[in-house]
Amino acid sequence: MLLRKNSFFASLILLLAALSCKSFAVDNRSALARQNYILNCQGCHLADGAGFKDKVPRMTDFVAYFLHVEGGREFIMQVPGAANAPINDRELADVMNWLLRNFSGEQLPDNFVPYSSDEVGRLRKEPMIDIISRRATLIKRIQDKLGISVDSLSG
Amino acid sequence: MKWFDNVTESVSRKVAQNSSRRSFLSGLGTALIGGAVIPILPVARAADAHGGGQATAPIDGELDDPASCDYWRNCSIDGFLCSCCGGTSTSCPPGTEMSPITWIGTCKNPHDGKDYIISYNDCCGKTSCGNCFCNTNVLDRPTYRPHTANDINWCLGTESAAYHCTVTLVLGVATKKA
Amino acid sequence: MKKRLSSFLIFCLFNSFALAELPNDKMGVIGTLPVPYPDHWLLVQDASFFHMLNGKLIVLDAEQKTRNEQYKGTFDNSLIASIAVAKTKPEIYVYETFYTRGNRGTRTDVVTIYDKASLSPLGEIIIPGAKRASMIMSDYTIRLIDDEKLLLLYNFTPSTSVAVVDTVNRKMLSEVSLPSCSLIYPTGKRGFSSICSDASMISIQLDKNGKVKSRNKIASFFDIDADALFERPAMINGIAYFPTFNGNLREVDLKGDKAVPGDSWSLVTSQERAANWRPGGMQLSSADSAGNMYLLMHKDGAEGTHKNPGSEVWVFDVVKRKRVKQIPLQLPGFVIEVSKDKSPWLYVTNVEMNIDVYDAKTGEHIRTLSDFGQESPFKLFSAN
């Protein structure tokens, strides 16, 4: 009886170990994305992506709207806070995908294609000069297309 | 840094000689020998690059004393320690406001050897506390890269930008890069 | 009788001297200062680091021997103001922050315009939005351009922007938002450049109404982590000479519409590099009217020493790219300023918070300005 119980638990432990190793490999990139968000973005955009009043743009329940309009996908990737972050293209792509899913999952378009490191590398080479008017144009497009009324900076 | 000790000593002696007025001189002047003087910004700093890998340094009282500049969490701090100002290393003194916009770094905890992500939030809305000024400029860079610059006052998200002191909040453990 | 008469006369004479009354003083006499200020006058901005609300600007005559003769006047500035001293008019511009209840209440940012002679406000311009950059003071947070007709102000919220102010009509003209680029380096006919967070630059030209006429992006040209440019260059004849953390010098030409990064050269010999001589300090650079650059230097530099006080000031001929003088300091210093006259004097805030005065040509220490009510004199302005 004892022996059977032991071997059952032993198998269970092995199974759990195997499962957690696999999920650890997947979760590791996600954990790194979250860590990169904390180290490079959270200082201003805050832990839940809420941003701050009219000083720091809000991501929560908002940022994925940009993916619905032309130019939006490029914009959120090219803002200096993202483009100039001291992390490589793959890590930046992971952060973008992580924060879109975690802060604005419900606003993601059905055909959402995650950012790839190639795309990020390409977009990073085009520096953005005039953030404010570009954002204003995109906010208007979001308002017109989705019928939401948004405050231009805090969303 | 022998020259540091020599200068500190000469400053302290001179201060003692002219001590009619400012005891702050011994704080500010000697702290200045180590670096700059105003609250610093959010910075992401690799703990292994800071301090040249002190993982095997002996654990002494100072590493565990929140009121010491050598407190392990204070590895990237620039400002007055709230532990000396009526607050603690994780809470602001009465009547101040903790700024949500902050600077974030990583420091190695000597007890478990792990790199912790530390948020250096400022407590704002009152005049300078004036006690326990600490400053380190390792991996600090000029203000054109704000999130690694310590010359900026980060009381940005508060009703008043008057800087009082700084706390050190653990946000999590920094995992190794994949 | 004669004796009594002469005694009486002597008595009267004596009394006329002894008891002659002082004339009454006139009430309400206020001093004024000579403008332009003499060449060796020095304006000292005290950050009042332990009570930043009560910053001071103290005017000193560095040629005098005693404190009372040195001390010329004072005005206040609030919460680590950004200050610019005009050269072509008797005005000083102070970009500062006030709250209605001291360190709390409703915030207002203003540019207060002070008169050099009376040290009294001539007027103020309110800058809306509560955006003023709050940081250690620097020349490059506030600059006059276009023959001092326009005043540029650096804002940081953390979004960055530059407010443009008309100094003649005393009103704000515009706000130029920047894509995470910082500070104000005057460029070209009527413009400025800023350094961006990826080590690139942006250059902006304005029209006379302060509106953007052109924007140019300059590609990244240095490595912030490996060898950062200090944000306080010496500006000489339209070229910004940026010292770097590791002891190099990067030139950036700001004469045209857009910044043009130029050559890099070493500030140190290979022996000096081996001893890790590096620039460092707070206001670590200055220039004289002959076009020489002055830098605070420290030995045994390493990662993290870039704000250490310097034990020497080195003087460079920037055209020949050679050091022409080494000035050892009596006490380490972290703020320098050089006067702009033909007999330049070097002023150094030292680690005791006093100001050492040196002859910039000979390196001779002339005197120390001390005990003038200062606490944290973090910025010096030569009078002219």
Task: Just give the CATH number of C223-384.
Answer: 2.130.10.10
CB contacts of A47 in chain B (<8 Å) are: 171
Query: What number is the average pLDDT over the span C71-87?
Result: 98
Q: Which residues, in sequence order, are bridge partners of residue C335?
A: C283, C349
B13 touches chain C (CB under 8 A): no
Find, among C308, C335, C238, the residue nearest to B31 by Cα: C308
pLDDT, tens digit, for every residue of B100-126?
998 888 889 999 999 999 999 999 999
Q: How confident is the model at residue C5 (pLDDT cuts 50, 70, 90)?
A: confident
| pLDDT at res. C254 | 98
Task: Name C110's Cβ contacts closer than 8 Å, sequence gap at least 6.
Answer: C95, C96, C98, C124, C125, C126, C127
pLDDT greater than 50 at residue B11: no
Tokens of residue C241, six digits = 């000479």
pLDDT, tens digit, for every residue of C256-270?
999 999 999 999 999
Q: How far is B120 from chain C (nearest CA, A)?
A: 16
| pLDDT at res. A152 | 56
Domain extent listing, chain A: 36-146
- Is there a domain that residue B17 lies in? no
| pLDDT at res. C20 | 85
- Is there a domain that residue B9 lies in? no
- Is there a domain that residue B2 lies in? no
Q: What CATH number does residue B49 fall under?
A: 2.60.30.10
pLDDT, tens digit, for every residue of A13-31?
655 555 555 455 557 889 9
- Residue identified by tokens 């500070």 is C183
The Cα–Cα gap between C185 and B148 comes to 21
| pLDDT at res. A154 | 57
pLDDT, tens digit, for every residue of C304-342?
999 999 999 999 999 999 999 999 999 999 999 999 999
Helix (H, G, I), strand (E, B) or coil at C289: coil
| pLDDT at res. A148 | 84
B168 touches chain A (CB under 8 A): no
Q: 3-state DSSP: chain B helix, strand, coil percent, rounded to 5?
A: 25, 20, 55
Provide DSSP, C142-157: EEEETTTTEEEEEEES
Q: Which residues, in sequence order, are bridge partners of residue A56?
A: A52
| Catalytic residue chosen out of the listed positions B72, B78, B103, B115 | B103
Find, among B85, B67, B148, the residue nearest to B122 by Cα: B85
Q: How confident is the model at residue B12 (pLDDT cuts 50, 70, 90)?
A: very low
- Is there a domain that residue B16 lies in? no
**DSSP label at C39?**
T
- Is there a domain that residue B20 lies in? no
| pLDDT at res. A5 | 53
- Nearest Cα residue in chain B from C372: B21
CB contacts of B147 in chain A (<8 Å) are: 40, 43
- Residue B116 gets the label, from left (phi > 0), alpha (psi -120 to 50) or beta, of beta
Give the A:C interface size as CB pairs under 8 Å.
34
| pLDDT at res. A127 | 82
Contact in structure between B119 and B171 (CB atoms under 8 Å) = yes
Task: Just give the CATH number of A36-146.
Answer: 1.10.760.10
Provide DSSP, C218-284: E---S-HHHHPBPS-PEEETTEEEEEBTTSEEEEEE-SSSS-EEEEEEESS-HHHHHTT-EE-SSB-
Buried b / exposed e along B93-128 (16+ C-beta atoms within 10 A): beebbbbbbbbbbbbbbbeeeebbbbbbbbbbbbbb
Q: Using the beta-carbon criterion (under 8 Å), do B175 and A46 form an inter-chain contact?
A: no
Q: Which of B41, B104, B175 faces A42 most closely, judged by CB atoms? A: B104
| pLDDT at res. B103 | 80
Task: Name C71's Cβ contacts closer than 8 Å, sequence gap at least 6.
Answer: C58, C59, C60, C372
Mutate to test the interface with C, among A87, A129, A132 (most CBs of C within 10 A): A129
Instruction: Calculate the alpha carbon distances from A22 to A26, A29, A34, A98 in Å.
Output: 7, 12, 19, 19
pLDDT, tens digit, for every residue of C286-303?
999 999 999 999 999 999
> For B47-104, where are the alpha helices, taking DSSP H only?
none
C180 touches chain A (CB under 8 A): yes
pLDDT, tens digit, for every residue of B55-96?
333 345 778 899 999 999 998 888 999 999 999 999 999 999
The Cα–Cα gap between A50 and B101 comes to 11
Q: Using the beta-carbon criterion (under 8 Å), do B144 and C231 form an inter-chain contact?
A: yes
C200 touches chain A (CB under 8 A): yes
C65 touches chain B (CB under 8 A): no
- Nearest Cα residue in chain C from B126: C103
Decide if B103 is catalytic.
Answer: yes
Q: How far is B2 from chain A (nearest CA, A)?
A: 35
B117 touches chain A (CB under 8 A): yes
Query: What number is the average pLDDT over the span A126-147?
Result: 91
CB contacts of B14 in chain C (<8 Å) are: 352
Q: Which of B104, B106, B178 faces A32 most closely, judged by CB atoms? A: B178
| Catalytic residue chosen out of the listed positions B78, B115, B122, B140 | B122
Q: How confident is the model at residue A2 (pLDDT cuts 50, 70, 90)?
A: very low
Q: Which of A55, A86, A128 faces C179 most closely, judged by CB atoms? A: A128
The end-to-end CA distance of chain B, in Å, is 37
| pLDDT at res. C363 | 98
Query: What number is the average pLDDT over the span B156-167?
Result: 95
Half-sphere CA count of C377, side-chain side, radius 13 A: 29
- More reliable by pLDDT, C59 or A20: C59
Q: How confident is the model at residue B42 (pLDDT cuts 50, 70, 90)?
A: very low
Q: Which residues, in sequence order, are bridge partners of residue A153?
A: none
pLDDT greater than 70 at residue A37: yes
Number of compact structural domains in chain B: 1
| pLDDT at res. B150 | 83
Share of chain A above pLDDT 70, in %: 80
Domain extent listing, chain C: 78-220, 223-384
Least confident of A70-79, B72-81, C38-47, C178-187: B72-81
Q: Which of C180, C217, C225 faces A84 most closely, judged by CB atoms? A: C180
The Cα–Cα gap between B104 and B109 comes to 16
The superfamily in CATH containing domain C78-220 is YVTN repeat-like/Quinoprotein amine dehydrogenase (2.130.10.10)
Tokens of residue C168, six digits = 């003649």
Least confident of A84-88, C215-219, C244-248: A84-88
Chains contacting chain B through 3 or more C-beta pairs under 8 A: A, C
Q: Which residues, in sequence order, are bridge partners of residue C328?
A: C312
Q: What average pLDDT is seen over chain C?
A: 96
Task: Name C167's Cβ contacts closer than 8 Å, sequence gap at least 6.
Answer: C86, C91, C93, C113, C144, C148, C149, C150, C151
- Residue identified by tokens 């948020």 is B119
Q: How far is C37 from chain B (nearest CA, A)?
A: 31
Q: How far is A116 from chain C (nearest CA, A)?
A: 21
Q: Using the beta-carbon criterion (under 8 Å), do A43 and B177 form an inter-chain contact?
A: no
Least confident of A2-16, A58-72, C224-238: A2-16
pLDDT greater than 50 at residue B43: no
Identify the helix (H) or strand (E) that includes residue A90.
helix A89-104
CB contacts of B157 in chain A (<8 Å) are: 52-53, 55
CB contacts of A52 in chain B (<8 Å) are: 100-101, 156-157
| pLDDT at res. B34 | 38
Share of chain C above pLDDT 70, in %: 96
Decide if B72 is catalytic.
Answer: no
- Is there a domain that residue B58 lies in? yes
Q: Which amino acid is at C255?
A: K
| pLDDT at res. C220 | 95
C214 touches chain A (CB under 8 A): no
- Is there a domain that residue B4 lies in? no
B171 touches chain A (CB under 8 A): yes
- Is there a domain that residue B105 lies in? yes
